[in-house]
Each structure stands twice: as structure tokens, then as C-alpha cells.
Structure 1
Amino acid sequence: MPKTRLISAMDFVNRLKPEHLQAFWYFASKINFTLIGTFGSLLWATAPAKEEADFYKTRLREYRWTLSVSSKRAEFLDYAVQMLDASRGMLSNLAEKPLLAQLQVSNAGVPAERTGPLSLPRDQTGGDAGSELGRYNFAPTFSGFPTEALDQYGMEEDLDESPSGSSPMAE
């Protein structure tokens, strides 16, 4: 279904005639043309197999060519070409995808069975994590920033002193 949507959008752009390109275009049109390329890039990046990724890569190359030729009559399309080039540059370092024959998917498309039972984590009081939100400990666990950033707002103290079931952010 996503492949059909992408092809349909790209074919629409490909069928635009010179008189269409020289007509009035709303200021957000350059973003809309860019979104088609972004959607194609997303499909390329998330394609499970090399064949599918190559298909999207080829279609994006064709779309870029169409936009660059069309931009001679509609300069706002230059923006979409530049964004496609930037997107392609980011995706050039993608890991090599396996061939379709190498993918190990069951005939029904169902993922492999789990090896163990699925269980919810338990909180400090021994109850299930999903039973009551009030039992969660909202202490900051993210360690990506120095704690001075939290200290200046008194976040650490507020979180330690907050009664169970309330969040300092709610106050």
C-alpha cells in the first residue's frame, strides 16, 4: 500500500505539463513536493530487503530528475531537489540490506514464537507496574545531561519529596 501511494504521487508530479508548472502554486507547495521525496526516503530506509530498497532508491533518483527538469519552469522545485539531495546524503550510510531470499520469515508472515512469557515489570512495592500509576517512582533516570541542569530547578529534591502518585510537573 505505501508503495502504491508513493508511485501515485511521483507519477502525478511526472505528468505535470509546462502550463501546470507555470501556474500559481501556493507557498507551501515546495514543502509538499519535498514530502513526497521524504516519504520515499523513509520507505527506502525501512525496506526490509535489498530488492525493495533498490526499488525505492531508483524511484527517488527518477523523482529527483523529474524535479530538476521541472524546476527550469518552476523555481520553487529547487528546494525539493536540495532536500532530496540532503536526504540521500543521510541515507548513503545505511547498512547493507539482506536479499529477499535471505530473510527468514514464516509463510504466514508471523514472527517467531517467544521463548518466555511476557510479563510486566514490578515496582518497588511488589505490585504490577500496570496496576496503579501512583506506584511509579518518577525519579530522573536519564543520564545524558549533567545533574547541574536539574539542580538549578530543584528537580532532584522535588522528585524525592513528592508523595506517591503525584508528579512535580503537575504542580
Structure 2
Amino acid sequence: MTVAGWVAWRQDDNGNRYRIGSFGDRVDALARTLELEAGVPHKQLYWVAGPPGPVVGDRADLRARGMAAAAGRAVPAYRMALVVVGRVVAGLPVLDLDTAAAVLVAAARIATGTGPTAGDRDPTTGEDRDAAGWLADATAGWAGTDAVTWAEFERLTGVSRAR
């Protein structure tokens, strides 16, 4: 369900607050904050304000959003971006479906411009294909529950909760 009205915010280290942008989808707003947090480390604080409740209905919705975002991206670049964005959320005790979808979308945005070219192979299988195909296989067993387990997320991103 897409509802207009999510706003991404940033607070600098002096306490000044800035509106980053307005989004029609909570996942897009969360993805934008994750993209910014995945950059150079700093003391900025980011959050999303808007209607309560999740927008990603289930894991099938999560996979569909992730595959749509990953389409046309090169597998190596997308996987590298997943690791970078995944580090931002590694400290969270639970990864809800909206945040998991935002990680997939943010990684795809970071990998933009790195679409598959001839000879671009999946590092796991050696196949020529884009990141959407790799993501479909990587999340094939995801079913049920309203969260992604850390074991699943670690397998997908390579990011471990152990620090």
C-alpha cells in the first residue's frame, strides 16, 4: 500500500534539523536515509516521519520490491552495495520487512550505473545475469513471518551482527 506523506529528516551535530525530502512510499524514504548513512561516517542523525505501520505486506512483497530495484544492476556491484548498506543496519535487534526492503532498494540505488555488461558474471554461479536474478535465487526460501532473520540477512549481505 502506498500512502503519500513520508518525510526523511536529518539532524546535524549542532541539533539543526533539515528536511531531506518527501516520499510517497515509506520504503523509498527509509532507503534514502540508508543511502546517506552508508556514506562517509559522521554524527548526523536520520529518521523517517509519516503514517504508522509497515507498507511491505509479507516476504513475497519484499522479494518483489527487491527484485524490481535490483533489475539491470550488475551482481558484483549490487552485492558490494548490499554489504555497505547492510553495515548501517547491522546493529538493529530486528530487521522488519520495511527496513529490509529499504536495504535492497538503497543498495540498488548505490549500484546504479553499473548495469550488467557482456561478460559480467554472477560471482557465485558464474552465470551471465543481472542482480534481480541473483536476488530471486538468494531469497527463494524466504516465506512466512514479518521479519527477515539475521541468519538470512547475513547470508544475503555478508554482514555479520558480531562486531
Say whether the fold is shared (TM-score over 0.5): no
Q: Which has the higher helix share?
A: 1
TM-score interval for Structure 1 and Structure 2 normalised by the shorter chain:
under 0.3
Normalising by structure 2, we get a TM-score of: 0.26
* Rg larger for: 1
Query: RCO greater where, 1 or 2, for CA within 8 Å and sep 6 or more?
Result: 2
Q: Which has the higher strand share?
A: 2
